[in-house]
């Protein structure tokens, strides 16, 4: 008999697990990492591929069907294709995806595709070299563009572009990025800047809101209409151009929180289970994974973590407290 689904106190069923494979990164986006003196988790604390695979297998028996690999920068993890192969082979995994900054795709897109990866989100905020450098503090735009072109040639599908939108900075990128997506068959998803930066500089005034972007696109490219039959539990609100040529997504965690429909849990690279990107508390799974616990004990721990999930983040209230870990250490 199949196990009961992972359901929380608010009736939300969880079928989506994000696994961070490293907290290290080869670039330094200002809204995520500090420029220097980054605190990384010691290597011995990072889960092995075997530990991640075991956790994923147990989660799949509890109804998880969607897995996403993230980080830090997941392509920095040596032999990532071996993990992809293991995860793709788990019966019950309907959807396996990766989120990357794309810098190492020219070398690794091929081996990852061969290992079974098809869905990829590539992080790109701008097509302007100077602004790319300002945002990421690295001069790697050409590599990312080369990586995107290679993914298209190899047949990855869908390829989505994750663009963090920051007020008084990325406005000039809205139309060029959206055009780039339209011309190359990529869905661009604009992500509102969230309070997850390591330097704790976020304030509401820096959030470029989904509605503002929507208006710029409708005026600058073509009118957009919301896609009515989309999955209500997907975090992105999706629009299509009225002329039928392409679509755009918004992850509007600040202006349109989607906590009521949340179906996700996250495993950090050092083995902590989180029920929310913004959670303050988390559950350390590593002592069980490394201490000889049986699958039933790990299952119980996952159920307890989901059972204790809060109703939602409170970014829009005075009570909001940013989580102790910044984005690169949680796994976005």
Give residues with Cβ within 8 angstroms of 328, minimum separation 6. Answer: 23, 25, 32, 33, 38, 71, 72, 198
* 264-267 and 272-274 strand pairing: antiparallel
Peptide bond into 158 cis (omega under 30): yes
Nearer to ligand SAM, 63 or 147 (CB): 147
Question: How do the residues of the chain divide into helix, strand and coil, expressed in percent and rounded to 5?
Answer: 35, 20, 45
Q: Which of 306, 316, 45, 85 is nearest to 194 (CA)?
A: 316
Query: 28 to each of 75, 104, 133, 290, how far by Cα in Å?
Result: 15, 15, 10, 32
Scan residues 131-170 and list those touching ligand SAM (CB under 6 A).
162, 164
Scan residues 64-103 and list those touching ligand SAM (CB under 6 A).
70-71, 73, 99-101
Q: Which does 197 bind (CB under 5 to 8 A by kind): ligand SAM, ligand SF4, none?
A: ligand SAM
Query: 74 to each of 215, 268, 331, how far by Cα in Å?
Result: 34, 12, 9
Nearer to ligand SF4, 72 or 195 (CB): 72
Nearer to ligand SF4, 41 or 222 (CB): 41
Q: Does residue 101 touch ligand SF4 according to CB under 6 A?
A: yes
Q: Does residue 31 touch ligand SAM according to CB under 6 A?
A: yes
- Tell me the site size for ligand SAM, rule CB under 6 A: 20
Q: Does residue 71 touch ligand SF4 according to CB under 6 A?
A: yes
Site string for ligand SF4, 289-308 (x = CB under 6 A): --------------------
- Distance CA(167)–CA(174), nearest Å, equals 11
Scan residues 16-35 and list those touching ligand SF4 (CB under 6 A).
25, 27-29, 32-33
Residues forming the site for ligand SAM (CB under 6 A)? 25, 31-32, 70-71, 73, 99-101, 123, 162, 164, 191, 193-194, 196-197, 327-328, 332
Residues forming the site for ligand SF4 (CB under 6 A)? 25, 27-29, 32-33, 71-73, 101, 123, 327-328
């Amino acid at each position: 008999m199949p196990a009961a689904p992972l359901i929380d106190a608010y009736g939300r069923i969880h079928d989506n697990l994000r696994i961070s494979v490293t907290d290290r990164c080869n670039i330094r986006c200002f809204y995520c990492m500090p420029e220097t003196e980054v605190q990384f988790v010691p290597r011995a604390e990072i889960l092995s591929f075997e530990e991640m695979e075991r956790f994923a297998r147990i989660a799949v028996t509890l109804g998880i069907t969607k897995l996403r690999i993230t980080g830090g920068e997941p392509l920095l993890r040596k032999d990532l294709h071996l993990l992809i192969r293991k995860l793709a082979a788990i019966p019950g995994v309907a959807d396996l995806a990766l989120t990357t900054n794309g810098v190492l795709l020219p070398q690794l897109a091929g081996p990852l595709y061969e290992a079974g990866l098809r869905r990829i989100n590539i992080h790109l905020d701008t097509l302007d070299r100077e602004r790319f450098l300002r945002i990421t503090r690295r001069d790697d735009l050409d590599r990312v563009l080369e990586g995107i072109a290679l993914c298209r040639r190899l047949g990855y599908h869908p390829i989505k572009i994750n663009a963090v939108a920051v007020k008084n900075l990325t406005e000039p990128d809205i139309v060029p990025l959206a055009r780039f997506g339209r011309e190359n068959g990529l869905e661009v998803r604009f992500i509102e800047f969230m309070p997850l930066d390591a330097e704790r500089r976020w304030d509401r005034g820096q959030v470029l809101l989904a509605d503002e972007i929507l208006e710029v696109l409708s005026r600058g490219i073509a009118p957009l209409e919301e896609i009515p039959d989309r999955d209500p539990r997907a975090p992105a609100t999706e629009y299509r151009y009225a002329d039928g040529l392409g679509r755009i997504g918004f992850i509007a965690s600040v202006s349109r929180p989607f906590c009521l429909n949340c179906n996700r849990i996250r495993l950090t690279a050092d083995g902590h289970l989180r029920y929310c990107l913004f959670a303050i508390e988390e559950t350390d799974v590593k002592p069980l994974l490394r201490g000889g616990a049986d699958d039933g004990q790990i299952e119980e721990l996952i159920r307890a973590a989901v059972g204790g999930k809060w109703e939602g983040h409170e970014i829009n209230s005075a009570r909001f407290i940013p989580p102790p870990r910044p984005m690169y250490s949680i796994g976005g």
